[in-house]
């Protein structure tokens, strides 16, 4: 979602210098929107594991085969999925990185299979992207040709037996 101003059907729930949490009044869905502009490849924020679990939940990010983390700062839990992501969770460096130029008000979205191998709760995607995959289940359920179009976590790269990505 690209919006320089708060959408008419949304209300701002929380804000910090980096991002704002919005609540869509009709759907009840939360989203995270940029409170400042970010350049492509810019580190938006560092993050850490608020908790480490051996099983996935709706709010975790996968870092290893049996390791899933909840995010700190907690507002990062509102980064939704898109098949055309503008951010990436680097779970090795523990950094949220802009993949594209992001303007104030843009929704921060990431490609869930970039960190998730096989998701606990697959879902029908409604991102509206021309490259939408329709059903999101995790990297294990996608062809390698499709996955190679995305930046992937080191964990997913290991699962795919691909050469390690070059550090930038």
In a domain, 1, yes or no: no
pLDDT tens per residue across span 63-98: 999 999 999 999 999 999 999 999 999 999 999 999
The answer to whether residue 119 scores a pLDDT higher than 70 is yes
Mean pLDDT of 125-140: 95
Mean pLDDT of 47-60: 95
Mean pLDDT of 129-150: 96
Give the chain's length. 168
* Residue-number span of the structural domain to which 125 is assigned: 10-159
In a domain, 79, yes or no: yes
End-to-end CA distance of the chain: 28
pTM over 0.85: yes
In a domain, 89, yes or no: yes
The answer to whether residue 5 scores a pLDDT higher than 70 is no
In a domain, 116, yes or no: yes
In a domain, 4, yes or no: no
Sheet holding 19-24, edge to edge: 10-15, 19-24, 30-34
Total domain count, the chain? 1
Residue 66: partners with Cβ closer than 8 Å, 6 or more residues away: 54, 55
Give the CATH number of the domain where residue 115 resides: 2.170.270.10
Burial tier of 137 (Cβ tally within 10 Å: 0-12, 13-18, 19+): middle
The answer to whether residue 3 scores a pLDDT higher than 80 is no
Q: What is the average pLDDT score of the chain? A: 91
- Where residue 163 falls among pLDDT bands split at 50, 70, 90? low
Beta-bridge partners for 88: 97
Residue 154: partners with Cβ closer than 8 Å, 6 or more residues away: 91, 92, 164, 165
In a domain, 129, yes or no: yes
């Amino acid at each position: 979602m690209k919006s320089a101003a708060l959408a008419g059907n949304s209300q701002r729930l929380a804000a910090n210098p980096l991002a704002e949490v919005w609540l869509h009044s009709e759907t009840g869905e939360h989203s995270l929107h940029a409170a400042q502009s970010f350049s492509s490849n810019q580190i938006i924020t560092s993050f850490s594991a608020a908790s480490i679990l051996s099983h996935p939940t709706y709010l975790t990010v996968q870092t290893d085969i049996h390791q899933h983390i909840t995010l700190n700062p907690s507002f990062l839990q509102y980064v939704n999925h898109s098949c055309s992501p503008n951010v990436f969770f680097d779970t090795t460096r523990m950094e949220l990185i802009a993949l594209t130029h992001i303007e104030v008000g843009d929704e921060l979205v990431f490609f869930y299979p970039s960190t998730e191998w096989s998701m606990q709760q697959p879902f029908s995607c409604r991102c509206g992207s021309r490259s939408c995959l329709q059903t999101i289940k995790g990297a294990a359920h996608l062809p390698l040709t499709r996955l190679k179009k995305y930046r992937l976590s080191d964990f997913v790269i290991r699962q795919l037996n691909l050469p390690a990505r070059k550090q930038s």
